[in-house]
Structure 1
């Protein structure tokens, strides 16, 4: 994936697995606070926090995925595979001050539920302060961003079309993947869908 593709992907998929050098892992929502700054929040007693003070970490974000059995392909020979898209973010983590955390909470609410910022009945200041004392903000200064796209784009357009058709008949998870893959290829790889001679 290009940097533009990675950012487009992350605008739709913003829940990932945070991994530190000691192999601890947390599953967290995140936001892009700035161009190359990611912010997350963890419980203040979380053991992973000790591994996030000025250290390199990895945030992996997985999108829709699906198993593709061989009989979905019109072209033979074929092997079964698993198609998916994912983005990895690597960076240096630092812990936020209480003031930084407060600003970060507003930014995260602004992304996920902006009306809550001014809703003092649902989220009164006293309750917010109590919650803030129980969490720690983490800022990740990104050093590297790369994505992996395995959507069967190397297959013929006929094979891709049949895969999408078969997946559309399956589970909601498979239908979700089929919609994602078709939309993604149409936007970023249109040539693999419309110019393949095998599909004419």
Structure 2
């Protein structure tokens, strides 16, 4: 992605935190079927490889996994909070008027070659870990063991798993670092007063720059 140095995030812990906090990722690749994308929940194992390894699964009927099995490189996109920036929030607007709207956001891109797998026990381990992660906040968490084994076996036959060791990891924290402190504070305060929770979340991220 286009990544000016002012917005570059290189802290591995923060990059992993954004990946972990993203419920649904966008996985893209380009192969024999052309450019293709799938929206998938992904699991990060941070201590596998230099930048960690991502795990997920496709419906077997989704043709995307076939491109990955053929060796296509994959790109996983994780989007954090984002917000429109109103030019009136810049104090400098009153001084010289040389301001325009923009969009602030946080994003992480992870690329690598994938390994596709269909082994039932490995798939069971993957879906178990994904379920445990997303069910943790429930009062009565669902477990794969709650489903009848014959039903579960049928569901496992209907999916294809993959591992994506991250070879390239980029983070972009576009939070107004190219503006002066007064303009950043104006944007932060404007977003913090918004009724939109994503605006307020981005304001919190901006406050960490100060």
* Shared fold per TM-score greater than 0.5: yes
Structure 1 segment 58-73 matched on structure 2, within 5 A: 58-73=75-90
Q: CA deviation at 1:119?
A: 5.1
Which residue matches 1:15?
24
Match for 2:142 among 92, 103, 116? Answer: 116
Which residue matches 1:103?
125
Which residue matches 1:196?
none
Residues 105 and 175 in structure 2, CA contact (< 8 A), matched pair in contact too = yes
Q: CA deviation at 1:14?
A: 4.0
Q: CA deviation at 1:169?
A: 3.0
- Report runs of 4+ in structure 1 exceeding 6 Å deviation: none
Residues 26 and 77 in structure 2, CA contact (< 8 A), matched pair in contact too = yes
Give the whole-Å Cα distance in 2 for the aligned partners of 1:138 and 1:165: 43
Which residue matches 2:168?
144
Q: CA deviation at 1:137?
A: 0.9
Q: 1:158 to 1:34 in 2, by over 3 A?
A: closer
Moved more, 56-65 or 12-21: 12-21
Give the whole-Å Cα distance in 1 for the aligned partners of 2:23 and 2:60: 21
**Unaligned residue ranges in structure 2 (runs of 5+):** 1-8
For these two proteins, the number of residue pairs brought into alignment is 183
Residues 18 and 78 in structure 2, CA contact (< 8 A), matched pair in contact too = no
Residues 90 and 144 in structure 1, CA contact (< 8 A), matched pair in contact too = yes
Q: What is the TM-score with the length of structure 2 in the denominator?
A: 0.79
State the secondary structure of the residue aligned to 2:127. helix
Which residue matches 1:88?
109
**Unaligned residue ranges in structure 1 (runs of 5+):** 194-200
